[in-house]
Chains A and B, each alone.
Chain A
């Protein structure tokens, strides 16, 4: 190593100048192995841990008493649980999109953000997968939705989108996990090599699967990673399309709409990138990663949010147009109720946060303003949650039979499960940044080399 002079990175926008292989490794690995367990981190950890404890207590209470602790009723038999599910699964989109989609498209800017975005995907999709089970009247029988051989030869009912959901989500979760883990292997080996304590050496060593950095390892690693990326890419589209079918298949106005699959995918990427920004900005700030996660990254994410925002605004318009074009009094009533009824404040919140506020991203100064980005990304998260709420709840509360109309009001437990899940997510993320490299060391090293080559080439 000492014989070859180490390359020093050039400023290529997505990586600032002056970084070598060693300094990158030091920078990223020290965040994990080099202490830094600050009081601030501990406070955040304690708060999210408490929230997580509340979340699991609330789940226990839910199992003991029943879903009647929520505000759901007839006609609004789906409430926050389904809204939260769709919201979380949407958030879980950006990670795989960034790491797989952008890898195939050879987008360099994915490198420094793909690792934590993938972690975010896993946590979000995992939490999302929890909600449909919590939502069941008899959650202990959730496995009946899966096909398994049994004496009574009972199988799931294949026409139900909920069965498709099980496959879509579990496939997505498994592929995302494998993809994430495979990407982690070289970095785990780095951590193993740098770990001071025996315990850490063993744990990271086991996880590194005997990685020695051989050329053969690298060759297989590269092809496996590319294959997995190819596998994960269609899943990004399929999982939320299937989730959208949960609604689109139903007859109820507000659910029954063929635009839902693309609309949901766009919305998912929208909320996913919003969450990426919500996480990247504090991460970058507290770990001083300004050279790795640059304004260019933020700018790109903001541009993607702008595009997806425009797509969902278009979807809103198409929904409205189709309602009137259909001439169905039920569709029209549901639509107008969305604008003017009980949940109109939620609609207008959604509209402003999802369709108006992101228009600020047309301006470069906004896209490069960290405070504005963080604010807008949080507003978009709220807006997207509102959209899920509206689709799930508002559509049902004024459907075909005027006699059956009823309103949904969330209970304290509804809020507990929502905020509990957010706390749990934050808790997992805090653990992640302490235990695993939040930025891919191996890929960043590669980027250093590439930055040099790019500069030399020009």
Chain B
């Protein structure tokens, strides 16, 4: 694994700080605070240097003298839930993120967001200074302002003080909030998640009488039924679930059958064995009918309601696999249906086998709706917003901005001076996740300490620091604040703390499964029909909108549509026909009196009578990358999940940019597939295709590869199409972003792309196919380069010599796979100054006019070779891990040495499913694929 080549360190600052850890006495601190405040008020002076808590070494530890990068174990958060990451530090700069193999929600992989977080860290548009009343201010000015306000809040009792956060799992933050609520008894805490309506929690309360989190053990399942739940890409456990799920399908094992019902096509549906697209209401009805068939709907739902063959097949599969199946409910289903799904799992005996319930990981605070009402009513006099952006991402129906204008004192602490930061009276810059001390919990409750990887780029204050000052806590140093949560009196604490930091997880902190008893007498929800239903879905690229300013994510093609730099109202083909709209046609969408204008995009997999409105675009104050990209669906959002939507044509058109203009396979055999039964009958089907491998006869002797022979195998059974490989490669290899217009011209630079193909007869759900360079042994590109800028090395790598390349582009013309990328313009310089920090110093930054492509991460091979040669041995199998391989949540990519008899890649290629792309051209690719084996329900064939 990658982290083995560097070293994970325990907190290196501890040794340095040990003797300098100053404990300040409160009086002195208070005095200094006031002094600072008055000094600032008197002079309005500029702020000084940031409070120094990280200092250089006096004696450099030996590991810092090495050329190898250092890896720090920390955690990254999505929707408030953490997953472990190892952040690579090169000369004190965080440049790359890998998953933490010891963390249950990561197992060594990450999602696209963690990969792109490096760019977020180095984003030149991050907030760097305090703003007060719209003008640049100082920390001391803010502190003085807060002291003045705090004193007035109900004579210090906090009347009218509100705190708004997102989902909070951090034990330290929860402890601080508790201290705050104790310190200001009349203050109130609200939290919200922009993309989660909270139905799962409500459903658990209905079923179990208390809010519980559901934890799936997908690795133990044989049948999965997903009711509108995209568990492969949404939710805090997506990476882990993807791993568990793919593990059952690896190499054509076909040990699980996934039935998916969905309105909006997502990764789960695209990877399902059986899938139907229905309206959200219809999905709920199907859930109740299937529940009735398996006897879990109690007496309430008419058990004799007519059912379809599909529903009977699903019910049959569930009953046949009782105890080894799981039913999953999506976040947008009604709470009653969530309760029903709990009852179904209980009825099927899945509880404790494939489904566990644990105490909620995220702290339950009061909902934002109440806060908005109070703000409108003028009952809020001071509002503290910690790392949230409700002006942008609160449902339009709440009219949050109007409400905020009525709050006399509002403080926003965040990474960007975003829509909310600009509207509040104070904006405080927050440190990035890799610049701060904090802690977080994973979907299963596992605690991770968040430790800084580098010195904060700006003078920032994390939510912990902001709360510490509000609470008048003794320690305002965030490391001290976090330590306080964990510190015990025993003597082993220091060792244990080091271990927490080194491993990236706090041992044995996962929540214990609780014994539950699900009620079975929950009444079905009242379903309101409408001719066109709106579904609000988080974006697979900008999430709830927080990544809108991240150019890597904006340019990463969205899995099913391959759209980049935009969102669009997604429709099914029939619905589009009935509305007489085509791709790119701008419509006016109206809901309960609110309206937005947006282009439509038709997806063949989309449910009819449903319109999906992807959230997370149409930002107004995200920075120059994300502003005015797409439309803001939050503006349309009401307080109920789904409501009637009307779309009216405007007659205008807007060009939507897709990185792949053709999604059809045209009957070609790029993706080969069979069903499990066909595979059992003809195991060699992947090579028995009508295009046979051409006889490999040549006049020349075969080229020997005596040392290493690097090769890759990509398992199409495991690949779920998430795109993490593309962005990991981008981060590792300094791949530039080209922007919307250049993608439209067909000039994206990704070295590994994830192709999407729409459904065919043999691939009813379509297919994903990651395509890096094939590193052909008979590489067509090499023969045609006039200057020898692309050549073969002794280990079988097809290498590109950037400084020799003159840019004839003949290599790309002759590449059958079209994996070569050309710097048509000065792309590497196109990012704003500041982004350079994210660059990998081990990889050349390419200039204008040269060709580039996948190198099999040659820099990682070199590093492994140097380490091996120092120890006088061969490179071990698994020592070289390419960036795409390391990040892959499903381990779909195998890489290694073909000369090593037992190597992982050789084992993978020994599979009968192994086939080469376009083998008939006799290119002899080193990258090969394992054909897809589907496991369809025989009853539905």
Contact = CB atoms under 8 A, between A and B. Distances in A.
Interface of A: 65-68, 71-78, 132, 135-139, 141-142, 144-145, 154-157, 159-163, 166, 246, 249-252, 255, 329, 333, 396, 399-407, 409
A73 B808 contact: no
Given A137-B851, A403-B755, 18 more contacts: A68-B747, A74-B812, A78-B809, A136-B849, A137-B806, A145-B786, A145-B787, A154-B804, A157-B785, A159-B784, A161-B784, A249-B784, A255-B813, A401-B817, A401-B818, A402-B665, A402-B668, A403-B769
B197 interface: no
Question: What 8 A-B pairs have minimum CB-CB distances, sorted nearest first?
Answer: A137-B807, A137-B849, A73-B746, A68-B824, A68-B825, A404-B818, A403-B755, A406-B746
A329 B667 contact: yes
B786 A137 contact: no
A159 B780 CA distance: 11
Contacts of B787: 144-145, 154, 156-157
Contacts of B825: 65-66, 68
A18 B825 CA distance: 63
A251 B747 contact: no
Given A144-B806, A403-B769, A407-B661, A156 B746 contact: no
Which of A68, A246, A400 is the most central at the interface, judged by chain B CB atoms within 10 Å of its CB?
Answer: A68
Nearest to A246: B810
Nearest to A143: B806
Q: How many interface residues does chain B have, given as a range?
A: 35 or more
Contacts of A407: 661, 746
B813 A78 contact: yes
B813 A400 contact: no
Contact of B788 (A137, A154, A166, A401): A154
Contacts of B809: 72, 77-78, 137
Nearest to B847: A138
B804 A144 contact: yes
Interface in B446-466: none
8 contacts: A137-B849, A154-B804, A160-B810, A249-B784, A255-B813, A402-B665, A403-B753, A403-B756
A404 to B, nearest CB: 4
A73 B805 CA distance: 17
A68 B809 CA distance: 13
Q: Which residue among B663, B755, B786 has the maximum number of chain A CB atoms within 10 Å of its CB?
A: B786
B498 interface: no
Contacts of B771: 401, 403
A74 B746 contact: yes
A74 B822 contact: yes
Contacts of B820: 74
Nearest to B825: A68
Nearest to B819: A404
B848 interface: yes
A82 to B, nearest CB: 9
Given A144-B787, A406-B746, A137 B805 contact: yes
Interface of B: 660-668, 670, 742, 745-747, 753, 755-757, 769, 771, 780, 783-788, 804-810, 812-814, 816-818, 820-826, 848-851, 918, 921
A137 B662 contact: no
Contacts of A402: 662, 664-666, 668, 670, 757
Q: Could you say which of B755, B784, B808, B826 has the most chain A C-beta atoms within 10 Å of its C-beta?
A: B808
A157 B816 contact: no
Nearest to B665: A402
Contact of B813 (A132, A157, A163, A250): A250
Contacts of A401: 670, 755, 771, 816-818
Contacts of B786: 144-145, 156-157, 160, 162-163, 166
Which has the most chain B C-beta neighbours within 10 Å: A77, A145, A404?
Answer: A77
Contacts of A163: 786
A138 B816 contact: no
A400 B817 contact: yes
A403 B848 contact: no
A99 B810 CA distance: 34
B822 A162 contact: no
Contacts of B769: 403
A406 B661 contact: yes
A157 B788 contact: yes
B764 to A, nearest CB: 18
Contact of B921 (A78, A166, A251): A251
A399 B812 CA distance: 12
Given A74-B818, A329-B668, A401-B771, A142 B784 contact: no
A432 B921 CA distance: 50
A160 B785 contact: yes
**Among the interface residues A141, A396, A405, A406, which one has the most CB atoms of the partner chain B within 10 A?**
A406
Nearest to A165: B786
B808 to A, nearest CB: 6
A154 B787 CA distance: 8
Contacts of A166: 786
Name the residue in B745, B784, B813 with the highest tally of chain A Cβ atoms < 10 Å from its Cβ: B813
